[in-house]
Amino acid sequence: MTHRVAIMQPYLFPYMGYFQLIAAVDTFVLYDDVQFMSPGWINRNRILVNAQAQMFTLPVKSAHLAQRINERVFASNFSFEKAKFLRKIAHSYSRAPFYKTVLPLIERILACTDNNVARFIEHSVRTLCEYLHIETPILISSELAIDTGEGAQSRVIAIVKRVGGDVYINPYGGIDLYDPVVFAQNGIALNFLRMDDVQYRQYGDAFVPFLSIIDVLMFNLPTDVREILTHYSLETPTSLRLESNHDQ
């Protein structure tokens, strides 16, 4: 029996594909002990404002570039920024069909007083998974005691082995990051999750894709979101090479 594993950095209210990945595997690992990359998706995402995608950010305190995600903290005005963000959500989604259910959920997430970036986002991811009834176990990479001196690919393989995995699933956007031969040599199959072209009704305007999970929840029941989360394909490196050769 296969044991599927995915590893992702902690992202703030990430897009639907992030939760597809969590739901698709048997173990999900939050990669909290790698370098904090800015700009990126760790402390920001996009919501729908006036029928357009608009970026939101919870600012992180300046620190040495080499510091890891789990060593970073939000800026001193964290409480103010959270309140401002909540007001923006309330204004932007007040007419959304599930606003009255989802806004208290977002309030509960933002009420977390831990200003450590990794722990705050871990709390948010776990809370959202609970709301969506996603029961995949979530582990924290820094608690697995993997040697941080190894290269990125070797470290991913070490994590997959540590949690008993034999299939590693990565988002489709990372197809150039890993060598399937090296994974195979370590007894691990490499797959890539490609999200389908999923659309749902927003405010009746043209659909705006790739927004935060907040947008998905505001316009869909949890049961409908669970169904949407199944709309993806798992690609192998071989199938992707054939596809690439066909497109040339």
Q: What is the pLDDT of residue 205?
A: 77
Q: With 90 as the cut, is the pLDDT of residue 138 above it?
A: yes
Give the contacts of 12 (CB within 8 A, at least 6 positions apart): 41, 42, 43, 44, 45, 58, 121, 124
| Average pLDDT score over the chain | 93
Phi and psi at residue 137, to the nearest 5°: -60, 135
How much of the chain exceeds pLDDT 90, in percent?
A: 85
How far apart CA 229 and CA 221 sit, in angstroms, is 12
Q: What is the pLDDT of residue 240?
A: 59
Instruction: Output 66 or 213, whichever has higher pLDDT.
Output: 213
Q: With 80 as the cut, is the pLDDT of residue 246 above it?
A: no
Check if the beta carbon of residue 198 is closer than 8 Å to that of residue 34.
Answer: no
Q: With 80 as the cut, is the pLDDT of residue 10 above it?
A: yes
What is the band of 1 on the pLDDT scale with cuts at 50, 70, 90?
confident
Burial 67-97 (b: 16+ CB within 10 A, else e): ebbbbbbbeeebeebbeebbeebeebbeebe
How far apart CA 102 and CA 134 sit, in angstroms, is 17
CB atoms within 10 A of CB 115: 18
Q: With 90 as the cut, is the pLDDT of residue 151 above it?
A: no
Q: With 60 as the cut, is the pLDDT of residue 242 above it?
A: no
Where do the H-state alpha helices sit in the chain? Answer: 16-24, 78-93, 99-110, 117-131, 152-162, 180-185, 213-219, 222-228, 237-247
pTM: 0.93
The stretch 47-58 carries a mean pLDDT of 96
Is the omega angle on the peptide bond into residue 39 within 30 degrees of 0, that is, cis? Answer: yes
Residue 227 tokens, joined? 């169904």
